Structure 1
Amino acid sequence: MNKFWIVLSHTYISKLKTKSFIITTVIMMALVLILSNMTNILKAFGSDEQEQVAVIDQTGDHLFDSYKAEVEAVNDEITIIASQDEGNVEKKVTDEEIRGYLLLEKDVNYGLKGTYKANQISDSLISNDLFLALSHLKSKRTASELNLTDQQIVQLNTPPAYETIALAENAKSEEDLNQARGLVYVLLFVIYFGVLMYATMIAMEVATEKTSRVMEILISSVSPITQMFAKILGVALLSLTQMILFFGVGYVSIKRNLTDMNEGFFAIFGFGNTNISTIIYAIIFAMLGYLLYATLAACLGSVVSKIEDVQQMISPMTMLVVIAFLIAMFGLGNPSASYITITSFIPFFSPMIMFLRVGMLNVPFWEIAISIGLLIATIILLGIVGARIYRGGVLMYGSSKSLKSIKSALQLSKKK
Structure 2
Amino acid sequence: MTNFWMILSQSYINKFKTKAFIITTVLVAAVIMIAGNMEKIFSYFDDEDKEMKIAVVDQMGGLYEPFKGQLAAITEDLTVVQTEQTENQLKKEVTKGTYKGYLLLKREADGLPAGTYKAENIANSEITSDIRQALQALKTMEVAGKLQLTSEQIQMWNAPVTFDTIALAKGAKSEEELMQAQILVYLLLFFIYFSVIMYANMIASDVAIEKSSRVMEILISSVSPVKQMFAKIIGIGLLGLTQLVIWFAIAYFTMTNQPKGSLVSSIGLKSIPVTMIVYAVLLFILGYFLYATIAALLGSLVSRLEDVQQMMTPLTLLVMVGFFISMYGLSNPESPFITATSYVPFFTPMILFVRISLLSIPVWEVVLGFGVLVAAILLFGVIGARIYKGGVLMYGKSNSLKDMKKALELSKDN
Q: Which SS does the other structure have where 2:252 is aligned?
A: helix
Per the alignment, residue 343 of structure 2 pairs with 345
TM-fit CA distance, 1:264: 4.9
Deviations 1:154-212, CA, capped at 9 Å, x for gaps: 22222332222211111112232223222322232122212221111111111111122
| Contact 1:389 1:409 (C-alpha < 8 Å) held by counterparts | yes
Q: Give yes or no for contact 1:52–1:98 (8 Å, CA) kept in 2.
A: yes
1: CA distance, partners of 2:310 / 2:373: 25
What's the counterpart of residue 230 of structure 1? 231
* 8 Å CA contact retained: 1:50, 1:78: no
Greater displacement, 403-412 / 89-98: 89-98
Q: In structure 2, what is the Cα distance between the partners aligned to 1:87 and 1:245?
A: 59
Letter matched to residue 384 of structure 1 = V
Deviations along 1:61-100, whole A, 9 cap, x unmatched? 3211211111121122222222222333322322334322
Distance between the aligned counterparts of 2:404 and 2:111, measured in 1? 71
Number of the residue aligned with 1:71: 71
- Cα distance in structure 2, aligned partners of 1:43 and 1:334: 37
Which residue does the alignment assign to 2:328? 330
- Partners of 2:311 and 2:401 within 8 A in 1: no
Does residue 31 (structure 1) correspond to residue 31 (structure 2)? The answer is yes
1:178/1:268 contact within 8 Å kept:
no
Cα offset, 1:294, TM superposition: 0.3
Corresponding residue for residue 370 of structure 1: 368
CA contact (8 A) 1:170 1:362 kept: yes
Q: Is the 8 A contact 2:343 2:352 kept in 1?
A: yes
Q: Which residue of 2 aligns with 1:12?
A: 12
Work out whether residues 304 and 397 of structure 1, in 8 Å CA contact, stay in contact via their aligned partners in 2.
Answer: yes
Per-residue CA deviation, residues 84-118 of structure 1 (Å, 9 max, x unaligned), is 22333322322334322222222226833322222
- Deviations along 1:303-353, whole A, 9 cap, x unmatched? 012211111111111111111111111111122222111111111111011
TM-score w.r.t. length of structure 2? 0.94
Distance 1:88 1:277 in 2: 66
Report what 1:286 is aligned to.
Answer: 284
- Indicate yes or no: 2:203 matched with 1:202: yes
Report the equivalent of 1:104. Answer: 105
Partner of 1:386: 384
Rate the CA distance shift 1:300–1:96 in 2: closer, same or farther, 3 A: farther
> CA 1:118/1:179 → structure 2, altered by over 3 Å: closer, same or farther?
farther
- Structure 1, 324-333 or 86-95: larger mean CA deviation: 86-95
Runs of 4+ more than 6 Å apart = none
* Partners of 2:100 and 2:57 in 1: CA distance: 17
Change (3 A) 1:402 1:267: farther
1:296 aligned onto 2:294: yes
User: Which is worse superposed, 81-90 or 132-141?
Assistant: 81-90
Q: Classify 1:87/1:272 alpha carbon distance in 2 versus 1 (closer, same or farther; 3 Å).
A: farther
Retained in 1: the 8 A contact 2:342–2:369? yes
- Report if aligned partners of 1:53, 1:102 keep a CA contact under 8 Å in 2: no
Between the aligned partners of 1:396 and 1:109, the Cα distance in structure 2 is 84
Are residues 1:92 and 2:93 paired?
yes
- Alpha-carbon contact 1:25-1:242 (below 8 Å) kept: yes
Structure 1 unmatched ranges of 5 or more: none
Change (3 A) 1:288 1:295: same
Query: What is the Cα deviation at residue 48 of structure 1?
Result: 1.3
**Is the contact between residue 57 and residue 102 of structure 2 (CA under 8 Å) also seen in structure 1?**
no
Task: Structure 2 unaligned segments of length 5 or more: list them.
Answer: none
Name the CA distance, whole Å, in 1 between partners of 2:142 and 2:57: 15
Matches within 5 A, 1:12-161: 12-49=12-49, 51-85=51-85, 86-108=87-109, 111-161=112-162
Compute the displacement of 1:15 (Å).
Answer: 0.4
RMSD, aligned CA: 1.8
* AA partner of residue 43 (structure 1): S
1:15-66 CA distance string (max 9 Å, x none):
0111111110110111121122223222222221355242433441321121
Query: Is the CA contact 1:70–1:133 (under 8 Å) kept in the aligned structure 2?
Result: yes
Change (3 A) 1:276 1:88: farther
CA distance in 2, matches of 1:347, 1:214: 34
**Residues 1:276 and 2:274 aligned together:** yes
Question: Number of aligned pairs?
Answer: 413
Structure 2 CA distance for aligned equivalents of residues 154 and 296 of structure 1? 64
> CA–CA distance in 2 between the matches of 1:211 and 1:51?
65
Answer whether contact 2:211 2:392 (CA < 8 A) is retained.
yes
Partner of 2:181: 180
Secondary structure, in 3 states, of the residue corresponding to 1:117? strand
Seen in structure 2, the aligned counterparts of structure 1 residues 306 and 14 have a Cα distance that, compared at 3 Å, is: same
